[in-house]
Chains A and B, each alone.
Chain A
Amino acid sequence: MGELEYILLFGLFHSVTYLVFSLGFSLVFGVARLPNLAYGSLYVLSSYLAHALSSYAGLEMYWAVPTAVLLAGAVSLVVGELVVKPALKMPVSVFITTMAVAYIVEEVLNMLMGLRPVVLSLYPGTSSILGIAVSNHWLLVVGVCILMVISLTIFLLRTSTGRAIRAVAESWEESMRLGIDPLRVLRVTFLVTGIYAGVTGVLLAPLKAMTPSAGWSPLFAAFAIVVLGGVGNLIGTVVASVIYGLLEQAVVYFLGGGIARVVPLLIVVLTLVVRPQGLLGRGE
């Protein structure tokens, strides 16, 4: 019985972090119509920045982490302005340019920091849930993530900027007719999603060893979740994240971490063959 509880608990913990990460990915996907492949590198970049700020610049952790997250947001904004906006007219180019950014970030980190993984310090202490010892850091992660999902939902549903984002995701032409500037919305989207990727990065960095190429696997996971849940479908994304997190932890537990990388890829392929519009999606 211990096994099942273990998988359920950590599966749900992972689900929440995947939810935050894939919500950001999904938001850019909706507004820019194309996946931002540099999204995974923001996740890595923020934890490296936090590490650099705390160990080289001598900042305290509670200053270094928010600064790193804001910097990740700023980098995301720059990526959106310099690399995605000029390429919007040739859709395939967004793929290439964001992939180029991802590789540039990866190689620059390789050059500056080497291949040694970066580990941030853990929030101290452990608690016991259902008889399983859980690091307090996980509780912090889950708490922050739930808060972020709720605030994003409120932002999208209740504020005028959030409504503008949803309008642009629905139709660029229609929203322009309503007096919304899609490029401004694009800028806001890149800033917000950069912050979301950055937060996931700094939260998970103490739990997973962060290497320059660590951004790819959450990126594939986010794509799998978005495909499974249906593009632009909030509830679908929540359901898909839970399924994904539980499935991944079960595979890691029974078959080992190496094979677990197959999970997102198989989900994508099976979903596209069986139900291309996603679990709850309306199709493209």
Chain B
Amino acid sequence: MIDVVGFVISWLTIFGIYSILSLSLNLESGTAGVTNFGKVVFYGAGAYIAATLTTYLTLILNGVDVTETPPYDVRGIVLLGELGSRNPLMSLGLLVLSLVVAFVIAGALGYLLSYPIIRVGPAFVGFTLLSFGELMRVFLQHYEPVGGNKGLMAIPTPFGWVAESRVREVAYLGLVMGVLATTYVVIHRLVNSPLGRTLRAVRDDEVAALCLGKHVPKIKAKVLFVGSGFAGVAGVLLAYYLTSVNPNMFVPAVTFNVWAMIILGGCGNLKGSLVGAAVVTFVDRVLTFVTPYLGVTVISPDYLRWVIVGLLIVVVLIVNPRGLLPEEPIKTPALEVVSEELGGGSG
């Protein structure tokens, strides 16, 4: 029998994590027009920050000498399994610490990376950030303290002390949804603020925005800080959800997935990002869940994922380039008053 509840919980958790990514990408690309093809850099940075902080600190706080038993070692992994779920307060404290540190570091990384890219055209921005993603992956593969090619395993989860596994899953889902709600509110406020309107101006006509006294490079750097910070947070949630990280999780295909979401949903529309994330993660989860029941080994349904998502994008772009939910016109309180008065006057 197919585990329906388990399916829904895992789908919603993955949906939540990817929605944070797609919302932040929509802020950067849909609203500000920065072609960020290196989303995976900040996502991966967040995941690795959470993994490294949690595993090392869990061992150190329990009095283990990490120079002798590092967390990527077999003995370290066994120890982490024993120690990880012992202290609820420590697990939750490490979660909060990881979220804050990941937001700041990933954000700072985005801010720094904006330096070489703001001087070149959109095609270069895209390809350069894509290159950065690969650069990070090669670095992680060869950097021993974070486990090299194997990555880090047995990351203690924030709810590891809960005995019942279903309760643990639901609690984690609650956490992801809470972070998603926060992200949505923050980005929604940003997009509809004066800064958001400046961003649209920059996207639509950079020269005009410059002429009106907007410091375009500074604005882009700011947006990359916020967007990358949230991508880092999504990475933290992924690391705790999977309890392991390795360099090959952060291939350029992840970025492509997120772009698929905002293109399907509609660039510049935040609700569209949620819809896009729901569709893409649903395809992904269905294929993952169905695989064991198919009993087919010749053609792995895993491969089908890219074919389906790729075809979806090409079809949407040809049929309706603006996506399922197109960008809405800007609404401000002042504009509403004016339109009401005009409507009242004529009616």
What mask results when residues 109 to 143 of chain B are scored 1 for a CB within 8 Å of chain A, else 0? 00000011101111110111001101100110110
18 example contacts (A-B, Cβ-Cβ < 8 A) are as follows A34-B123, A82-B314, A91-B123, A92-B29, A92-B122, A96-B256, A96-B263, A97-B317, A100-B313, A101-B310, A103-B310, A104-B311, A227-B124, A259-B138, A261-B138, A265-B132, A266-B135, A269-B131
What mask results when residues 137 to 169 of chain B are scored 1 for a CB within 8 Å of chain A, else 0? 011011000000000000000000000000000
Lowest 5 A-B CB distances belong to which pairs? A100-B310, A265-B135, A103-B306, A265-B131, A272-B116
B314 x A97 contact (CB < 8 A): yes
Asked if A208 lies at the interface with its beta carbon under 8 angstroms from chain B, I say no
What mask results when residues 29 to 47 of chain A are scored 1 for a CB within 8 Å of chain B, else 0? 1000111000000000000
Asked if B4 lies at the interface with its beta carbon under 8 angstroms from chain A, I say no
B115 x A268 contact (CB < 8 A): no
* Nearest opposing residue in chain B for A227, CB measure: B124
What mask results when residues 304 to 336 of chain B are scored 1 for a CB within 8 Å of chain A, else 0? 101101110110011001000000000000000
Which residues of A are interface residues toward B (Cβ below 8 A)?
29, 33-35, 82-83, 86-87, 89-93, 95-97, 99-101, 103-104, 106-108, 110-111, 216, 220, 223-224, 227, 258-259, 261-262, 264-266, 268-269, 272-273, 276, 284
Number of interface residues of B (CB under 8 A): 43
Asked if B303 lies at the interface with its beta carbon under 8 angstroms from chain A, I say yes
The smallest C-beta distance from B318 to any residue of chain A, in angstroms, reads 5
Asked if B253 lies at the interface with its beta carbon under 8 angstroms from chain A, I say yes
Residue of A34, A259, A268 near B131 (CB, 8 A) is A268
* Nearest opposing residue in chain A for B113, CB measure: A269
| A272: B residues at CB distance < 8 A | 116-117, 119-120, 124, 128
A95 x B253 contact (CB < 8 A): no
The smallest C-beta distance from A93 to any residue of chain B, in angstroms, reads 5
| A99: B residues at CB distance < 8 A | 256
Given A96-B260, A104-B310, A227-B124, is A264 in contact with B131 using a C-beta cutoff of 8 Å? yes
B306 x A106 contact (CB < 8 A): yes
The smallest C-beta distance from B140 to any residue of chain A, in angstroms, reads 12
| A265: B residues at CB distance < 8 A | 131-132, 134-135, 138
| B230: A residues at CB distance < 8 A | none
Residue of B29, B120, B304 near A276 (CB, 8 A) is B120
* Nearest opposing residue in chain B for A32, CB measure: B123
Tell me the interface secondary structure of chain A in the complex.
helix
| B123: A residues at CB distance < 8 A | 29, 33-35, 91, 95
Residue of A95, A220, A224 near B126 (CB, 8 A) is A95
B135 x A262 contact (CB < 8 A): yes
What mask results when residues 287 to 309 of chain B are scored 1 for a CB within 8 Å of chain A, else 0? 00000000000011001101101
A107 x B303 contact (CB < 8 A): yes
Tell me the interface secondary structure of chain B in the complex.
helix
| A266: B residues at CB distance < 8 A | 135
Asked if B37 lies at the interface with its beta carbon under 8 angstroms from chain A, I say yes
A103 x B314 contact (CB < 8 A): no
The smallest C-beta distance from A96 to any residue of chain B, in angstroms, reads 5
The smallest C-beta distance from A133 to any residue of chain B, in angstroms, reads 31
Asked if B35 lies at the interface with its beta carbon under 8 angstroms from chain A, I say yes
Instruction: Give A111 to B306 CA distance when docked, in angstroms.
Output: 12
The smallest C-beta distance from B111 to any residue of chain A, in angstroms, reads 15
Instruction: Give A100 to B259 CA distance when docked, in angstroms.
Output: 11
A269 x B135 contact (CB < 8 A): yes
| B256: A residues at CB distance < 8 A | 96, 99-100, 103
| A264: B residues at CB distance < 8 A | 131
| A83: B residues at CB distance < 8 A | 314
Instruction: Give A235 to B189 CA distance when docked, in angstroms.
Output: 50
Instruction: Give A258 to B137 CA distance when docked, in angstroms.
Output: 11
A95 x B35 contact (CB < 8 A): yes
A35 x B120 contact (CB < 8 A): no
| B132: A residues at CB distance < 8 A | 265, 269
Instruction: Give A262 to B133 CA distance when docked, in angstroms.
Output: 11
| B299: A residues at CB distance < 8 A | 111
* Nearest opposing residue in chain B for A89, CB measure: B321
A273 x B116 contact (CB < 8 A): yes
A108 x B307 contact (CB < 8 A): yes
* Nearest opposing residue in chain B for A256, CB measure: B142
Instruction: Give A97 to B264 CA distance when docked, in angstroms.
Output: 12
Instruction: Give A186 to B201 CA distance when docked, in angstroms.
Output: 31
The smallest C-beta distance from A113 to any residue of chain B, in angstroms, reads 12
* Nearest opposing residue in chain B for A29, CB measure: B123
The smallest C-beta distance from B299 to any residue of chain A, in angstroms, reads 5
* Nearest opposing residue in chain A for B256, CB measure: A99
The smallest C-beta distance from B313 to any residue of chain A, in angstroms, reads 5
The smallest C-beta distance from B100 to any residue of chain A, in angstroms, reads 28
The smallest C-beta distance from A263 to any residue of chain B, in angstroms, reads 10
The smallest C-beta distance from B324 to any residue of chain A, in angstroms, reads 15
Given A90-B321, A93-B263, is A273 in contact with B115 using a C-beta cutoff of 8 Å? yes
| A91: B residues at CB distance < 8 A | 122-123
A261 x B134 contact (CB < 8 A): yes
A258 x B263 contact (CB < 8 A): no
* Nearest opposing residue in chain A for B255, CB measure: A99
Residue of B120, B138, B260 near A262 (CB, 8 A) is B138
Told that A104-B307, A259-B142 touch, could you supply 13 new A-B pairs with CB distance under 8 A?
A29-B123, A91-B122, A91-B123, A104-B310, A107-B307, A227-B124, A258-B141, A265-B134, A266-B135, A268-B127, A269-B132, A272-B120, A276-B119
Instruction: Give A90 to B259 CA distance when docked, in angstroms.
Output: 14
| A35: B residues at CB distance < 8 A | 123, 126-127
B317 x A93 contact (CB < 8 A): yes
| A110: B residues at CB distance < 8 A | 303
Instruction: Give A86 to B13 CA distance when docked, in angstroms.
Output: 35
The smallest C-beta distance from A97 to any residue of chain B, in angstroms, reads 6
B303 x A96 contact (CB < 8 A): no
